[in-house]
Structure 1
């Protein structure tokens, strides 16, 4: 599904990603762990196609097609979904209208506004948001947890194939984490779908049951493994991996 090959990237002429390799297959859940500033969110921005982040080397292949000449909307049409750490407010545009427009952009043949609204109301209800949220201006005056739930509703509504979720758990309570975990399990019940999750929440990791775990540091993936790697990090922290990587870079 997604192949990331030796990707280097910079932000404002500062090199951040220094050779990232990652393959994500259908049905997999990949957790990205690492200290702040290690490159996790930058990888998501590069996958999104954010023009502020320049890919200087490497290749990104999604379902056999290169992302090289695709803008963010084309990547979304291909089935890639990205959530922001801080979802923006959109004045004057309701949640329903925003998501309906996004759905239409992905599928021009989609026309049923009434059916769409009913489905969205049910999705919000599943996330424990009142149905009236469909008519509220997108994220305007929403709490952090409400914004993250709207992101989850977007994921379910737009029917993406591969989702990059950037700290979807930040600033939310334990009940919301459980609801997000439940939504992600429902999303992943379709084994053709996959998730890349940047998180600092042990609880959310437990909820989604990852197939792969990766430790980021110094703009690279320093170590990869299964769920057991989470316990290793809980015990030893990130420093040992980051320092070991720095030592190897000096020696090379």
Structure 2
């Protein structure tokens, strides 16, 4: 049982004009097996939260705490956060020319676990996971994300999630750019990982369509770098009908 605890988190980003506050006091607790959906309009700070939790150097935590099972996440390097059990599925997965998918996956798994996976069982596990996500095994020999479609990049992110078995997975707009079939396949991968490992999921999205496949336990409305309202799955249904206007009108938007 793992717990990610975010307390009064404030984050700024460096701009040409100097530091700009983005997150303005975020409080959230996520436990193993739970799915929390973070929803909100563009520029509300959702992706800033994901990047700050992962340790992106562009984002500076000015106050507040983040702990994973009582350990100070903010004191950890990016690789230490991964080994501790944090995983980020990126909104815009980057291309890594010259590094094959097969080498990347095994190297990353070795770094996270502290030992190399056994070749025979690892190969079988990778092949099965790729099959479940409708990823052609020929992709193993291609450079990471190079020439991949948007849907292929997102499926590759969920492939990593399934293989690395994190304690907490942060999915930053995993649904963006996906057609209906790819959305279903990606969602099935997330649900499969939850069933197999009891991972806690922080799902960042603009839209409710992915929540038809991945059922949230809690929904948080994010506006101007803060959580403006919290509730259960019914809150997402209300957002689909009413939108974010009632929240945005109360505060000036923050930039991501």
Question: TM-score, normalised to structure 2's length?
Answer: 0.93
Match of 1:60 in 2: 66
Residue 237 of structure 1 and its aligned partner are, at CA, apart by 1.2
Relative distance call for 1:111 and 1:179 in structure 2 (3 A) is closer
Q: Which residue of 1 aligns with 2:205?
A: 199
Alignment-derived partner of residue 249 in structure 1: none
Among residues 38, 50, 56, which one is paired with 2:56 in the alignment? 50
Task: Report the counterpart of residue 164 of structure 1 in structure 2.
Answer: 170
Aligned equivalents of 2:95 and 2:197: distance in 1? 32
> In the TM superposition, what whole-angstrom CA distance separates every residue of 1:133-176 from its partner, at most 9, and x where no partner exists?
11111111010000001001000011111100001111111001
**Residue-by-residue CA offset, 1:153-202 (whole Å, 9 max, x unaligned):** 00001111110000111111100100111111111114631100111332
Distance 2:29 2:236 in 1: 19
Is structure 2 residue 24 aligned with structure 1 residue 18?
A: yes
**CA positional deviation for 1:112:** 1.8
Give the 3-state SS of the residue equivalent to 1:157 in structure 2: helix
Q: What does 1:135-154 align with in structure 2 at a 5 Å threshold?
A: 135-154=141-160
Residue 160 of structure 1 aligns to a residue in which SS?
Answer: coil
Find the partner of 1:177 among 180, 183, 187: 183
Partner of 1:250: none
Within 2, Cα distance between the matches of 1:93 and 1:117?
18
How many residue pairs match? The answer is 246
The alignment's C-alpha RMSD in Å is: 1.3
Give the structure 1 partner of residue 83 of structure 2: 77
Aligned partner (choices 13, 35, 43) of residue 29 of structure 1: 35
Instruction: Quote the Cα distance in structure 2 between the aligned partners of 1:237 and 1:110.
Output: 47
Task: Compute the displacement of 1:243 (Å).
Answer: 2.2
Is there any run of 5+ residues in structure 2 with no aligned partner, and where? none
Q: Name the structure 2 match of 1:5.
A: 7
Runs of 4+ in 1 over 4 A off after TM superposition: none
TM-score normalised to structure 1 length: 0.94
- C-alpha contact 2:208 2:240 (8 A) present in aligned 1: no
